[in-house]
Amino acid sequence: MRIGLLTYFWEDVPGQFFQALATTQALASAFPEARVEIPDIRLWRQRLPVSRRDMLLRPWRNILRLRQRAAYNEARRERLPICGPRMTTADPVRTGAEIARRGYDLLVIGSDVVLFPWGGERLQEGLVPVYWLANVPEVPRAMLASSSHTARYQALTEKQRDAMGRALASFSFLAVRDPLTLELLHALGTAKVPARLIPDPAFAYEIDPLPAQELWARLRHRSGRPVCGLRMPLRAPFVRELLELLLRDFDVMLIGAAHRGCTGLLNLSPWEWSGLFRHFDLHVTMSMHETLFCLKQGVPVYTVERDPKRFDPHSGKSKCYFLQEEFGLLDRHYFNPHRSEITPAGVHSQIMDTWQSFDRQHAIGRAAELGKQYLRTTQELRRAVAGLVGLAE
């Protein structure tokens, strides 16, 4: 038996990598008799992480970025069951034909925002991403922690609604990652099975602490001051002012950036990234998966919603919003500057409150329970499709 896992996997983004890895591991556990494959089908080309400005002024940064690319390529080769030949296209007809040619017994649409109808270079306006499987002949198929990101039914064209609705009716199992996606499926209204919410698969991933321990030893942090991790765009005046306030109380370590007075972490491998947060006393981030990995390890985390494209403009809700809400931290540990006005000093005050009031054991326990819940759902997936693919339940 062969299972085709359709997901994002090709960018050097830790959240994307660990979602693909955790989903692969969960499917291998739920279907031990099957071979799980990720067909090497990519919607857009992977750009080289090289900056012309840095090439002239700070060439060492580009060297570090290329080292990070090499680390991710190695991790993908070693741990993800990527199966060629490679195809890079946003054309759902071409990709659908390639998936059908491979003859999988079960297709699983994995985690990440794969259901979102991108525009521009990533997908022609008005088309439906291949992950809806609207262009793939009938074969057992399931959604597993899939997400439509901020796509709303009202914003879809009639052509998209029709294609998504017809495709949705062919799924035998529907488990999505967030309430916005659940609302979209309900609005499409043609599913033959009920849809339910499921946690992000990264909750089920067991972190190897050793690579981060080795990195921490190389950093030789000995100041005695508490450490605050930070992932935010330093070009924004708001962030620079907030950074100056944080530097009064913490040694600040910047993930993916460098700045005077801070330690820059520019070329982390996925393994170093995943275990790094447990060495922080506090982390401030705009990343949903950095928030998630902090919560898994009991690290106080404050999340800022920096990109207006990443939340629903009508409700203000996003994947970061839902994650903090799940842990009961929304009111004190999350901030959307596009929905409320607050000064950097006000955000700094909330961050200090996060550091002092965070319940570490509650976060670790809740994250572990969500991981178990995700794995239970993969077993429910097996039971749902067993008769369709000739397996014993």
pLDDT score of 45: 87
Which pLDDT value is given to residue 54?
A: 67
Calpha distance 76→386 (Å, rounded): 29
Which class for 155: exposed (0-12), middle (13-18), buried (19 or more C-beta within 10 A)? Answer: exposed
Cα dist from 30 to 101, 140, 204, 295, 301, whole Å = 25, 16, 13, 26, 32
**And the tokens for 39?**
């067909």
Backbone angles phi, psi at 25, to 5 degrees: -65, -40
Q: Would you say residue 392 has pLDDT above 80?
A: no
CA pair distance 242, 265, nearest whole angstrom: 19
Q: Which residue has the tokens 């910047």?
A: 254
| Centroid of chain to Cα 262 | 26
> What architecture (CATH level 2) is domain 205-368?
3-Layer(aba) Sandwich (3.40)
Q: What is the pLDDT of residue 126?
A: 80
pLDDT band at 2 (very low <50, low <70, confident <90, very high): very high
Tens of pLDDT, residues 281-327:
999 999 999 999 999 999 999 999 988 888 898 888 999 999 999 99
CA angle (190 as vertex; 175, 183 as ends), nearest 5: 50
Contact assessment for residue 304 and residue 271, using Cβ atoms and an 8 Å cutoff: no
Q: What pLDDT was estimated at residue 393? A: 63
Q: Are 336 and 311 in contact (CB under 8 A)?
A: yes
Which residues on adjacent β-strands are paired with residue 36? Answer: 3
Helices (H), the chain: 14-30, 52-57, 59-79, 92-102, 158-168, 179-188, 210-219, 237-249, 270-276, 288-296, 319-326, 330-333, 344-357, 360-389
- Residue 66: what pLDDT? 85
pLDDT of residue 118: 87
Q: Is the peptide bond before 85 cis (omega within 30 degrees of 0)?
A: yes
Residue 50 reports pLDDT greater than 90: no
Residue 144's pLDDT is what?
Answer: 97
Q: How confident is the model at residue 154 (pLDDT cuts 50, 70, 90)?
A: very high
CB atoms within 10 A of CB 32: 8
| Alpha-carbon distances, residue 149 vs 97, 143, 180, 277 (angstroms) | 25, 14, 7, 26
User: What is the share, in percent, of the chain residues with pLDDT greater than 70?
Assistant: 96
Task: Kindly write down the DSSP assignment for every residue of 223-264, as one continuous string.
Answer: S-S-EEEEES-TTSHHHHHHHHHHHHHSEEEEET---TTSEE
For the segment 341-351, the average pLDDT, to the nearest whole number, is 93
Handedness of CA 153, 157, 158, 161 (dihedral sign): negative
